[in-house]
Structure 1
Amino acid sequence: MNTKKLFSSIFSITLLLILFTGLPGCKKSEGKKIGFLYSSNITIRFNKESKFFKERAEELGAQVVIDHAADNDAVQYEKAIQMMEEGIDLLTLIAVNINTAENIVKEAKARDIPVIAYNRLIANSDLDVYISGNNDELGKDMAGYALKQRPSGNYVILNGDRFDRNAVELMESIDKTLKPHIDAGKINILYKTYIENWNPDHAAHELNQFMKANPEPIDAIISGFDGLSVACIDVLEKYDLAGKVIVTGQDAQIESCRRIVEGTQHMTMYHPLKEIAYKAAEVAVDILNGEKLDKKHEISYSNNGFKDVPTIQISSIPVTKKNIDEVLIESGFYTREEIY
């Protein structure tokens, strides 16, 4: 074979390799579109997480469209369908209602669009992955903190929406943590309820009505979400009890962080939002690229009534006045000026 023919053969083989495997450095996810549809902008963390998700997914070559449903499951269904019609290749969904969102998953699967349930496990549906925190650890940390501060006394528990599996699992963990202390006669549960849609106004109403009707003193309020916590503190202030009643929370929202510094809220659970959102984006891109998730990620399973859904959990960090600077300011989550 002469030099000219040899060069021609090498060129042809190289061209074939490029056609079949793509240009060196090309990302398989290039040009793929991901929808990130969350429940409502009432929950500040979801605003932040959507942006972190977009940032990481786009670093990996995908496009991301973001929207929210204003806490309306019918609106969320319509917006999900719209995203599908506009050509998304994967949907990441924070469901308004974990039961009715099954219909969104059905529509997606009929179009061969994978679905990631983010933060809320969608019931009875053919999900591809569930990205979540660890609700058992959350409940232990929140109730455990309250017990350390008030090892005996009267407790009120205000949790999230009863139709949100996160709230149900959180309540189970809180109950399990408190049970030995209740059985020993040290802790008395004055009032325990779920709050529809995790709505702060509903929480304030529930607590206010209870305190009007019940003269017994409250020693601790285990609140399942910072929005509820701040609403409870506003009610406590009317009774001159702000700072005197232990109040927990979850999500490290800025108003709660300020309340922790002033001493009217006592702890919150910080979810490393950037880490969670980045992980979800990486999983989404891996799915689009046909990667086997168990080779790259630590997988457990959560049963949603239809299947055992591959689950990736990221643990949260308790934040108090003692460690708020270290956890939230030194990490860059908030500036000192924002909190103080």
Structure 2
Amino acid sequence: MVESNYFAERARELGAEVIIDQADNNAALQYQKAMEMKEQGVDMLVLIYINEITANAIVRDFNEVDIPVMAYNRLLVNSDLDMYIAGNNQSLGEGMAGYALSQVPRGNYMLFGGDKFDRNAVELQASIDSVLAPSIDNGQINILYKTFTENWDPKNAAFELKQFLNNSETHPDVIISCFDGMSHEMLDVLSEWDLDGEVIITGQDAQIESVQDIAAGKQQMTMYHPFKEIAYTAADVAVALIKGDKLDDFNVVYTDNGFKQVPTVQINSILVTRDNLDEVLIEGGVYTRDEVY
């Protein structure tokens, strides 16, 4: 079940009617569909934006008629948002980098971040850097290579890794990869150098291919975002906002988006390794045992 369905499921339990629509990564179509919802008289818009310019226009238009807008998973900058629901990039980076250091406290590291124009990628990389900094400063770890990856594209990450290995006699002990798709693709490159299983590699998203890689001992960990919890929490917050209820139960923090301090609810991710994979992802109903093994 996709997150939007979880959101709708919980919202309906709380007595709300939900309209779900998507724009096939077309910003103009997203604006058109948002305006149709505004004309229908919705009480709130939950937005996973495609393009900042058109998304800002959506928020302005909804502000004009006093319909609140919640940004879901992607923070819209320089916009008068009413709420932001997201994962916690600080704890996400701490989980990845902390795990890597626990496995390889001394060694050569490579860092593959996400798209440099994605605020989530920038915040995540800043968290990773802060965890690694003391070990870099005291000479325990050496950063062989560090890059952002355009569009979080697995093939771009694999190309960068292949170029490095082609031109270096030094191999990494750890690859901190910020996305499972990149991790999975880079494993193919490592296998060409007989390094698969020899390099600690991280990930994010608990995608099925990487979960299978973890079960096989090829990738060591991923950060799983509890999608149902995030969607249910978003629905709880949305209904509370519409009703005008206080948000005291949601541990609200504030995120600077360049325009205002946006009220924010963050959901922590779960570190998944081979040791707790069954408990978190199979017993938790994310995947079946046959899918993983």
TM-score of the superposed pair, with normalisation by structure 1: 0.80
Trace 1:189-338 onto structure 2 (pairs within 5 A): 189-294=143-248, 296-338=249-291
1:75: Cα distance to partner? 4.3
Q: Give the alignment's Cα RMSD to 1 decimal.
A: 1.9
What one-letter code is carried by the residue in structure 1 that aligns with 2:98? Answer: G
Trace 1:1-340 onto structure 2 (pairs within 5 A): 48-98=2-52, 101-294=55-248, 296-340=249-293
- State the alpha-carbon separation in 2 of the partners of residues 206 and 107 from structure 1: 42
Contact kept in structure 2, 1:97 and 1:163, CA below 8 Å: no
Please, which runs of 5 or more residues in structure 1 have no aligned partner? 1-46
- State the alpha-carbon separation in 1 of the partners of residues 52 and 94 from structure 2: 24
CA deviations on 1:10-36 (whole Å, 9 max, x unpaired) are xxxxxxxxxxxxxxxxxxxxxxxxxxx
1:98: Cα distance to partner? 5.0
CA deviations on 1:27-80 (whole Å, 9 max, x unpaired) are xxxxxxxxxxxxxxxxxxxx7211111111122222223333444544433443
- State the alpha-carbon separation in 2 of the partners of residues 109 and 165 from structure 1: 23
* Closer, same or farther: CA 72–197 of 1 in aligned 2, 3 Å: farther
Range with bigger deviation, 102-111 or 172-181: 102-111
- State the alpha-carbon separation in 2 of the partners of residues 197 and 96 from structure 1: 13
- State the alpha-carbon separation in 1 of the partners of residues 77 and 13 from structure 2: 32
1:168: Cα distance to partner? 1.1
More RCO (CA 8 Å, sep 6+) = 2
- State the alpha-carbon separation in 2 of the partners of residues 85 and 210 from structure 1: 53
Partner of 1:39: none
* Closer, same or farther: CA 216–72 of 1 in aligned 2, 3 Å: farther
| Bigger Rg over Cα | 1
Please, which runs of 5 or more residues in structure 2 have no aligned partner? none
* Closer, same or farther: CA 90–158 of 1 in aligned 2, 3 Å: same
CA deviations on 1:265-320 (whole Å, 9 max, x unpaired) are 110011111111001011111122222223x4221111111111111111111000
1:258: Cα distance to partner? 0.6
TM-score of the superposed pair, with normalisation by structure 2: 0.92
